[in-house]
Every structure is written in C-alpha cells, then in structure tokens.
Amino acid sequence: MARPKKQGPKAPQKQHPGYPCRIPECGRLAIYGSHRLCWMHWNRWKRYGSPFAGRAFNGEPERYFLETVLQFTGKGCLIWPYARDRTGYAVMRRDDDRASVLVHREACKKIHGSPPFPEAVAGHSCHGGHLGCVNPGHVSWMTQAENLAMSRAAGRMP
C-alpha cells in the first residue's frame, strides 16, 4: 500500500468577495485566512517571510554585484539581498552561464586576482560568509586549513 505524500501548509482556497490583495497594483482577489493576500503573495509570505520575495529580474544580481559590491568600501558586512545556497552563502547566475557562482569568490577574483593555487578558498575575515556577507574587503585567498583555523579561533567551529 502506497503512503500518502506529505503536503505543506495550504492556503484556504476561498476568495474574499470584493477584497483585493493588499499589495499595491496586484489586482488579484485575496483569499480567506491569508492576511488579505492573494494566493501568489500568500505563498511567498509563507515560504520566504515576505510577500515581496521572489525571483530577481534577469541580470539584476549581476548588476548589483558590479555596481554595489565591487564599489563597496565600508568596514561592516554587506549582506547579499538575492539568492543564497542552503548553507547561507550568496550565489548568483551569470547571464552567459547556467551554473551558480559564489558571490564572495567572484568578489575575491575581481579584487585580488585569480586564485594563487587551484585549491585556494575565498575566506572571510568577518566570519559572516554563511550569513550572506559579500564585502570584498572581508575576503582573501587562503588554504582550506587556514580558513578552518580562522573559524576555530573565532569560535565558529569546535
């Protein structure tokens, strides 16, 4: 006998009669029990914590990388506002490539040049890479052993 599939939270399917979605310029009808959000915005709110979350327009993350990340001179962490991998590191897709690239590694390439040896990792001096930090001043090329030692010294690893 087949097991029933697990299903995530579902929004009530009934629409409010005459209540539009509270998001400006949406125009769809809100659904019951959804904080006056339409199905699409309710889904985004449940999945990402914001009804405005969702897919970035083509080229927008790369433009942000070139115009904001590479020009950033502040001392604090610059948090990536776009996609992250499951460990929290910032990722983006290049227009000419379908594969995702790590943004902090790309920033390190642009600022410090290509990796000095094939196994080099772009380590964070702020220890905030897993939080989405992409400040080019916080990354430098190092060995994996140096990166792990730095994480242990900062108390991030046992």
d(CA 91, CA 80): 9
Domains and CATH numbers, the chain: 15-48 (no CATH), 60-153 (3.90.75)
For residues 143-151, average pLDDT: 92
Weakest mean pLDDT among 3-12, 36-45, 46-55, 149-158:
3-12
pLDDT over threshold 60, residue 141: yes
The answer to whether 82 touches 64, Cβ cutoff 8 Å, is yes
Judge if pTM exceeds 0.85.
Answer: no
DSSP H helical segments within 4-158, as ranges? 39-48, 60-64, 103-112, 144-153
